[in-house]
Each structure stands twice: as C-alpha cells, then as structure tokens.
Amino acid sequence: MAVKYTLSKKPLVDHIEVEPIHKGQCHCGAVQFTVYLDQGLIDPRRCNCSMCRRRGAVVASVELKDLIVDEGEDVLGLYQFNTNTAKHYFCSKCGIYTHHQRRSNPKLYAFNIACLDGIDPLVLANIPVLDGEDHPTDKAIGV
C-alpha cells in the first residue's frame, strides 16, 4: 500500500536567523547543548566525504569553547575513522549526529544545524557542498 506524501510548502531562504546563545538537542533529548552564535551561522554547508554524504547533515562551525554539552555527555557515542583526527559525536540512544571536532581544523566543532531548537536547515536555498572526497589533509599525508 503506497502512502502519498506532499512536498513541503515552506519557502526557501538564503539566511536563517538564530539566537546568539542557541539551545540544541538530539531527537530523544538525551543530549542537550548550548552553542554560542554571536555571528550567526557561519558557512552552513554539506560535505561529500564518505561519512557526511551518508548522514546528510547541514553543518556550521564554532570554536570548541562555543559548543557546550549541557546534558547527556555520558550518552554521546564517538566514531572515528581514516586518520582518527575528526571526532564524530552522536546520541547513543536515538542515533542522531550532533557535532564533530573537525579534521581540517581540530580547533573547531561543526554542529548539525537541524539539532538547533526551532531551526529547519532544509529551507536554506543554496547549501554549498564541500569536496571532502578530495580532503586537503589527505593530500598532505599521501592518502
């Protein structure tokens, strides 16, 4: 039996307004965090590396000090691969990817914009896709 879905009627936008101090959480609410966004969402993007293309998240970045896990640090799962530099965090209860410490700049976290309270990243009209298949640090180490 086929289910008929309708397309979203939300208008596409070029920019999403966020609070300077914004709360976020995974789907089940076990992981809750605060992100400091004084400059808004910096460079929202997707990536086509083997990990990102599978999870499909739209992310933005902040300095490590600007993302604080308020609750659920004990239920955060960690996944690492390839160079084991990036640290990908997800809720071990509901499976939602919340953030990761970046490989290209380990002084930054990239976070899942869809985890921010009240934010729908799918309304962004033009989301660039970074070329993670040809990652700059892979060239540096000869991968």
Question: Across the chain, where does the E strand assignment appear?
Answer: 21-25, 32-36, 46-47, 59-63, 67-71, 76-79, 87-91, 97-101, 108-112, 129-130
CATH for 62: 2.170.150.70
The residue assigned the tokens 């921010």 is: 116
pLDDT at 49 (0 to 100):
87
Instruction: Tell me how far CA of residue 75 lies from CA of 31, 35, 113, in angstroms.
Output: 7, 19, 20
Asked whether residue 90 is domain-assigned, the answer is yes
pLDDT at 131 (0 to 100):
87
Asked whether residue 134 is domain-assigned, the answer is no
pLDDT at 139 (0 to 100):
56
Asked whether residue 32 is domain-assigned, the answer is yes
The residue assigned the tokens 């959480």 is: 25
Instruction: Tell me how far CA of residue 79 lies from CA of 6, 12, 84, 88, 95, in angstroms.
Output: 35, 33, 9, 5, 12
The DSSP code for 32 is: E
pTM of the predicted structure, to 2 decimals: 0.90
Question: What is the total count of domains within the chain?
Answer: 1
Average pLDDT over residues 81-91: 93
- Cα gap 136→7, rounded to integer Å: 37
pLDDT at 129 (0 to 100):
93
pLDDT at 1 (0 to 100):
74
pLDDT at 28 (0 to 100):
98
What are 41-67's pLDDT values in tens digits?
A: 988 999 998 888 999 999 999 999 999
CB 18 within 8 A of CB 116: yes
Shortest CA distance to 88 belongs to which of 139, 42, 138, 49?
A: 49
Asked whether residue 138 is domain-assigned, the answer is no
Kindly report the number of other CB atoms within 10 A of residue 18's CB atom: 19
Asked whether residue 79 is domain-assigned, the answer is yes
Asked whether residue 139 is domain-assigned, the answer is no
Name the residue range of residue 84's domain.
Answer: 21-121
Asked whether residue 55 is domain-assigned, the answer is yes
Asked whether residue 86 is domain-assigned, the answer is yes
